[in-house]
Amino acid sequence: MPDESRHPGPLAPEAGGEPRVEPETGSASLSGGSSPQKSGLVKYGELIILGYNGSLPQGDRGRRRSKFVLYRRQKANGVMRSRHYPVKTPQSAQAIHNNQLHSISYTLSRHQAVIVEYTHDPTTDLFQIGRSSESPIDFVVMDTVPGNQVQERVNAQSTISRFACRILAQRDEDDLTCRIYAAGFDSQRNIFLGERATKWETGQQGVDGLTTNGVLIMHPKGEFCPPSNSASTTPPATSKPGIWREISVGGSVFGLRESRSAALQGSPVPSESNTLVDGTLIDLCGATLLWRAAHGLANSPTPRQLERCLDDLNAGRPQCPVGLHTLVVPTRKNSNHVAPEAQPVVYLSCGHVQGRHEWGSLNDSKGSKTCPICLGASSTALLMMGSEPGFYVDCESPDYAFVPCGHMASEKTVKYWANVPIPCGTSGFQSACPFCAMPLTGTPGYVKLIFQDKCD
Amino acid sequence: MAGLPRRIVKETQRLMQEPVPGISAIPDDSNARYFHVVVAGPEGSPFEGGVFKLELFLPEDYPMSAPKVRFITKIYHPNIDKLGRICLDILKDKWSPALQIRTVLLSIQALLSAPNPDDPLANDVAELWKVNEVEAIRNARDWTRTYAMGN
């Protein structure tokens, strides 16, 4: 068993939906009542894996879950760079064998390596993310399978590094800056960059490098989820996706390599930094994480707000124009109680929402049907609420759905994500539904929903 | 009637509770799928003042296929033939299960207001409607008076 006390992670969400943790014990707090603020917890933010709608399909357990909340630790566990020195063989270096000492070893050639030692930093907290279930990993991230599916082949090749990246968070309440770095320390508190990894010497006789598949980040342009100011007449400016960059082991910013694991690093981008901002995306090659800073999350809808939106919609008793029965848009909570005929279906070309029926099949390869309302040909999807609040860029009602999966979200939210290129393959990009990771199809990749309130 | 689909029950209830102005549709006592329909000739049309009887039948797979509707009262109209059959796209290839008895009857009422001689069913009527509309309308009025008033 990993030593949970040394690496407290966020644990099971409490009844209210807000996961929290008691850093001292690392044990789940399932009791309601006092909020993290009240109990003295300082929240840095949340890391949410794209492709899950509030939890993993097999359920959230321990450090393996769909999102990870970073709280200030009871005791600082951050590290900072101290000295570095060349060695002939890193395996023989004392720092490598000292399990109390964090170190990064850059193998430059067969008989030449540089070791950078790290010492305890009382001003920062360290959080590590990767595929490994070993104790140094706070947030275990596996490859995302689109469509809220569980990976079928257990031993499928993963492209995510076991110790993929690390985040250092400033413990100062007035400055909770979080910075990201490629690679994480293993159980021996070492990071090894082997002979074949991309690395180079830096100005002050230091070294830096990239991990095999790299850690890419994308900061949004503008505020990801601006405060909704009802007093103001001008709508808050919407953010736009930025440009994907690569982060080095030392935390510097580079342009993308020619392909994902090419040997040559991209050009340095000194004007940009590895400081996470609200809405920064982190791509680990196999899974993409969204960083939501605590202050940004305060502008996002709460799970209750989203539920209320849906309750309002269902209270309008939308009808199936064919069966003339009432439809119920399911949430994760009530999905088991919604009768099959009440499950709404959206016609993805026109947005008309109806119940399930067999009329209008066109017998083509895509399973298209004729929409009974507008007689247009369209593929269809079961309508499902986008329940993960962190993916919303505003608190408006979920009047739109992604195509082809049918996950509902607000207008600005679908428009934002339809414009976000998510890295896929060795050098490709593809926009996807954040709630299930299905690549969006067609243009624009979303549709405005049209409900029938009264069928006449 | 047992085994009547919920949709038909709902449509029937609404037709009774909130009837369409100028239209009545009442299910037959012995067959809930057979409706006795009466449509008032629309104001401003040559059919004004007339009361037209129709029969409407919901086939087994309704609403997946269209209702069968026929005029019982004789009518002089380019899109309705001697047997009362109606040339209306939504009763044929433009049928959709999102349409209802109500919408079908409204469409028939609209057809009385706006005859379409370019898509005829009664060829002789349509022909006259095109070459001599005044005479055609006069015929329609005569037929309305003869067949659709008071008897």
Write the pLDDT tens digit of every residue in B111-136.
Answer: 999 999 888 888 889 999 999 999 99
Of residues B63, B98, B100, nearest to A373 (C-beta): B98
Which chain A residue's Cα is nearest to B19? A456
Of residues B6, B14, B97, nearest to A357 (C-beta): B97
A372 vs B98: CB contact, 8 Å cut-off? yes
The answer to whether position B109 is within a domain reads yes
Which of B94, B96, B102 has the highest number of chain A CBs within 10 A, making it the mutation to test binding with A?
A: B96
Q: What is the pLDDT of residue A236?
A: 62
Assess A453–B contact: CB distance below 8 Å, yes or no: no
Q: What is the pLDDT of residue A223?
A: 93
Of residues B64, B100, B102, nearest to A359 (C-beta): B64
C-beta of residue B47 within 8 angstroms of C-beta of residue B111: no
Compute, in degrees rounded to 10, the torsion defined by CA atoms A82, A198, A183, A281.
Answer: 120
**Average pLDDT, stretch A144-157?**
74
Assess A322–B contact: CB distance below 8 Å, yes or no: yes
B15 vs A contacts (CB less than 8 Å): none
The pTM for the full model equals: 0.86
Which amino acid type is present at position A406?
G
Q: What is the pLDDT of residue A93?
A: 81
Of residues B11, B94, B96, nearest to A324 (C-beta): B11
Catalytic residue positions of B, numbered: 87
Among A291, A300, A334, which residue's Cα sits nearest to residue A413? Answer: A300
Assess A450–B contact: CB distance below 8 Å, yes or no: no
Q: Considering chain A, what is the average pLDDT of its residues?
A: 87
Among A219, A214, A216, which residue's Cα sits nearest to residue A198? Answer: A214
Of residues B7, B64, B96, nearest to A324 (C-beta): B7
Distance from CA of B136 to the nearest CA of A (A): 34
**Cis-peptide into B59, omega within 30 deg:** no
In chain B, pLDDT over 90 holds for what percent of residues?
89
B100 vs A456: CB contact, 8 Å cut-off? yes
In chain A, pLDDT over 70 holds for what percent of residues?
86
Please give the Cα distance from A96 to A115 (Å, whole number).
9
C-beta of residue A29 within 8 angstroms of C-beta of residue A22: yes
**Average pLDDT, stretch A264-280?**
96
The answer to whether position B32 is within a domain reads yes
Which residues of B fall below an 8 Å CB-CB distance to A?
6-7, 10-11, 14, 63-64, 94, 96-100, 102-103
Q: Quickly state the pLDDT bin for B3 (edges 50, 70, 90).
A: confident
B96 vs A372: CB contact, 8 Å cut-off? yes
Q: What's the pLDDT tens digit per position in A403-431?
A: 999 999 999 999 999 999 999 988 899 99
Among A33, A53, A120, which residue's Cα sits nearest to residue A81? Answer: A120
Residue with the bigger pLDDT between A456 and A251: it is A251
Tokens of A143: 């490859």
Domain that holds residue B106: 6-148
Q: Quickly state the pLDDT bin for A442 (edges 50, 70, 90).
A: very high
The answer to whether position B1 is within a domain reads no
Which of A325, A359, A371, A454 has the highest number of chain B CBs within 10 A, making it the mutation to test binding with B?
A: A359
A322 vs B contacts (CB less than 8 Å): 7, 63, 97-98
Phi, psi of A347 (to 5 degrees): -85, 115
Q: Of A29-38, A47-56, A272-281, A285-294, which range is least confident?
A: A29-38
Tokens of A341: 């005929």
Distance from CA of A232 to the nearest CA of B (A): 42
The β-bridge partners of B85 are B70
C-beta of residue A385 within 8 angstroms of C-beta of residue A330: yes
Residue with the bigger pLDDT between A251 and A100: it is A251
The answer to whether position B139 is within a domain reads yes
**Average pLDDT, stretch A223-248?**
81
B64 vs A contacts (CB less than 8 Å): 357-359
Which chain A residue's Cα is nearest to B101? A456
B98 vs A321: CB contact, 8 Å cut-off? yes
Distance from CA of B44 to the nearest CA of A (A): 25
pLDDT at residue A155 greater than cutoff 70: no
Of residues A354, A360, A456, nearest to B102 (C-beta): A456
Q: What ranges do the domains of chain A cover?
A: 43-73+123-297, 303-448
Tally of structural domains, chain B: 1
B96 vs A contacts (CB less than 8 Å): 359-360, 370, 372-373, 375
Q: What is the pLDDT of residue A6?
A: 40
Q: What is the pLDDT of residue A26?
A: 38
Which chain B residue's Cα is nearest to A354? B98
B10 vs A324: CB contact, 8 Å cut-off? yes
pLDDT at residue A23 greater than cutoff 70: no
Q: What's the pLDDT tens digit per position in A79-120?
A: 999 999 999 887 778 888 888 899 999 998 888 899 999 999
Which helix (H) or strand (E) is B70 found in, with range?
strand B68-71
Distance from CA of B9 to the nearest CA of A (A): 10
Q: Quickly state the pLDDT bin for A4 (edges 50, 70, 90).
A: very low
Q: What is the pLDDT of residue A98?
A: 85
**Cis-peptide into A2, omega within 30 deg:** no
Distance from CA of B61 to the nearest CA of A (A): 11
Which helix (H) or strand (E) is B53 found in, with range?
strand B51-57
Distance from CA of B131 to the nearest CA of A (A): 35
Q: Of A3-7, A66-70, B129-133, which range is least confident?
A: A3-7
CB pairs under 8 A between A and B: 38
A372 vs B97: CB contact, 8 Å cut-off? yes
Assess A339–B contact: CB distance below 8 Å, yes or no: no
Assess A108–B contact: CB distance below 8 Å, yes or no: no
Q: What is the pLDDT of residue A152?
A: 63
Phi, psi of B140 (to 5 degrees): -60, -40
Distance from CA of B97 to the nearest CA of A (A): 5
Q: Of A121-135, A147-161, A193-207, A338-352, which range is least confident?
A: A147-161
Which amino acid type is present at position A173?
E
Assess A325–B contact: CB distance below 8 Å, yes or no: yes
Phi, psi of A147 (to 5 degrees): 90, 25
